[in-house]
């Protein structure tokens, strides 16, 4: 998609765990252009072909609608995704979905995104989703983003933190 309509955002989502996949489905269902990014090709393919059987009811329909409208896709290319979007959602890896990434996965993603921002002329927005307190998330990740991008938050890019809480009633509830 080369251009977006008024009110439609171009969003990249880093790390395609279950919650990030739900975000991608819901955002594309609302008409936003979404590209999900994961270094694991099988996770990127999740957005290109649809969710696995047994995932949350209704999620498959969200992906199908998004794919048919050309609004949702998956890739392993962080640089292409960040350069093509105006907002990047960086989701904390769920403890039960780390696939060996362990502590430091969010820091590594922030470093990689920052390196792409170094060469991006347009102002970019970042939303960090974490179960930790926002001030602690910023204290931990903002220095990494600023150092790797060579840019300053609030001047060269925008950043916010959103608390991410799990609930047992379903992610789209």
Residue 158 near residue 123, CB atoms below 8 Å: yes
Locus of tokens 């002329």:
121
Residue 132: half-sphere exposure toward Cβ, Cα within 13 Å: 15
Burial zone of 9 (CB within 10 Å; 0-12 exposed, 13-18 middle, 19+ buried): middle
Global pTM value: 0.84
Q: Is the pLDDT of residue 102 over 50?
A: no
Alpha-carbon torsion 17, 154, 83, 60, what sign?
Answer: positive
Q: How far is residue 19 CA from its own chain's centroid? A: 10
Average pLDDT over residues 133-146: 95
Distance CA 20, CA 60 (A): 14
**Per-residue pLDDT at 64:** 80
CA-based nearest residue to 117, from 92, 142, 140: 142
Is the pLDDT higher at 6 or at 109? 109
pLDDT in tens, 29-53: 899 999 999 999 988 888 888 666 6
More confident residue, 56 or 2: 56
Closest CA to 86 of 24, 10, 3: 10
Q: Which domains does the chain have, with CATH numbers?
A: 10-96+103-163 (3.40.50.720)
Hey, how many other C-beta atoms are within 10 angstroms of the C-beta on 103? 8
Nearest-angstrom CA–CA distance, 128 and 131: 10
pLDDT of residue 66: 85
């Amino acid at each position: 998609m080369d251009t977006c309509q008024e009110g439609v955002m171009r969003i990249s989502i880093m790390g395609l765990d279950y919650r990030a996949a739900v975000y991608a489905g819901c955002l594309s269902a609302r008409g936003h252009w979404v590209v999900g990014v994961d270094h694991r090709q099988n996770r990127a393919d999740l957005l290109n072909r649809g969710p696995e059987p047994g995932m949350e009811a209704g999620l498959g329909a969200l992906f199908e609608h998004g794919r048919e409208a050309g609004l949702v896709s998956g890739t392993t290319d962080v640089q292409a995704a960040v350069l093509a979007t105006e907002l990047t959602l960086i989701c904390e890896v769920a403890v039960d979905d780390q696939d060996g990434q362990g502590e430091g996965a969010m820091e590594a993603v922030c470093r990689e995104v920052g390196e792409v921002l170094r060469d991006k002329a347009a102002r970019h927005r970042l939303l960090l989703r974490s179960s930790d307190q926002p001030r602690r998330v910023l204290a931990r990740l903002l220095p990494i983003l600023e150092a790797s991008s060579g840019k300053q938050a609030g001047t060269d890019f925008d950043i916010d933190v959103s608390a991410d809480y799990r609930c047992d009633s379903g992610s789209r509830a």
